[in-house]
Amino acid sequence: MKKIDFNKPYLTGLEFKYIKDSTKNLLSGNGNYTKKCETEIKKICKSEDALLTNSCTSSLEIIAHLMNISPGDEIIVPSYTFVSTANAFLLRGAKIVFVDIDLKTLNIDINSIEKEITKKTKGIVVVHYAGVSCDMKKLIELANQYSLLVIEDSAQAMCSTYKGKHCGTIGDFGAISFHATKNINCGEGGAVLINKNPKLFERAEIIREKGTNRSNFIKGKINKYTWVDIGSSYVNSELNSAYLLAQLQNAKKITSKRMKIWNKYHTEFLELEKKECFKRPSIPNDCSHNAHIYYILTKSKIERTNLINFLLEKNIEATFHYLPLHLSKLAKKFFQKKISKLLNTISVSERIVRLPLWPHMTYENELVIKYIKKFYNK
As a whole number of angstroms, the distance between CA 372 and CA 378 comes to 10
What dihedral angle (degrees, nearest 10) is formed by the CA atoms of 297, 273, 183, 200? -70
As a whole number of angstroms, the distance between CA 157 and CA 134 comes to 11
More reliable by pLDDT, 47 or 334: 47
Looking at residue 214, what is its pLDDT? Answer: 80
Which residues, in sequence order, are CB contacts of 70 under 8 Å at separation 6+? 92, 93, 94
Q: What is the mean pLDDT of the chain?
A: 95
Whether the pLDDT of residue 70 is over 60: the answer is yes
Contact 97, 335 (CB under 8 A): yes
User: Computed from CA positions of residues 19, 24, 29, 30, in that sequence, does the dihedral angle turn out positive or negative?
Assistant: negative
For 238-277, the pLDDT digits (tens) are 999 999 999 999 999 999 999 999 999 999 999 999 999 9
For 186-199, the pLDDT digits (tens) are 999 999 999 999 99
Say which amino acid occupies 323.
L
Interval 105-132 mean pLDDT: 97
As a whole number of angstroms, the distance between CA 370 and CA 304 comes to 17
Interval 75-97 mean pLDDT: 96
Interval 299-326 mean pLDDT: 97
As a whole number of angstroms, the distance between CA 243 and CA 176 comes to 16
As a whole number of angstroms, the distance between CA 225 and CA 236 comes to 19
For 336-366, the pLDDT digits (tens) are 556 668 999 999 999 999 999 999 999 999 9
Looking at residue 217, what is its pLDDT? Answer: 77
In the three-class reduction of DSSP (H, G, I as helix; E, B as strand; rest coil), residue 16 is classed as: helix
Interval 300-310 mean pLDDT: 98
Interval 71-77 mean pLDDT: 96
- Whose CA is closest to 157, among 260, 291, 349? 291
More reliable by pLDDT, 336 or 185: 185
Looking at residue 351, what is its pLDDT? Answer: 98
As a whole number of angstroms, the distance between CA 270 and CA 156 comes to 24
Residue 306 host element (H or E): helix 301-313
Residue 6: Cβ within 10 Å count: 15
User: Domains of the chain, with CATH numbers?
Assistant: 15-249 (3.40.640.10), 251-377 (3.90.1150.10)
As a whole number of angstroms, the distance between CA 227 and CA 211 comes to 6
Residue 50 host element (H or E): strand 50-53
As a whole number of angstroms, the distance between CA 140 and CA 286 comes to 15
Residue 370: Cβ within 10 Å count: 14
Q: What is the DSSP letter of 4?
A: B
Over pLDDT 90: what percentage of the chain?
89
As a whole number of angstroms, the distance between CA 296 and CA 352 comes to 6
Question: DSSP for 233-293?
Answer: B-PPPHHHHHHHHHHHHTHHHHHHHHHHHHHHHHHHTHHHHHTTS-B-----TTEE-----
More reliable by pLDDT, 28 or 147: 147
Q: Where are the beta strands (DSSP E) in 164-235?
A: 165-166, 173-177, 190-194
Residue 313: Cβ within 10 Å count: 9
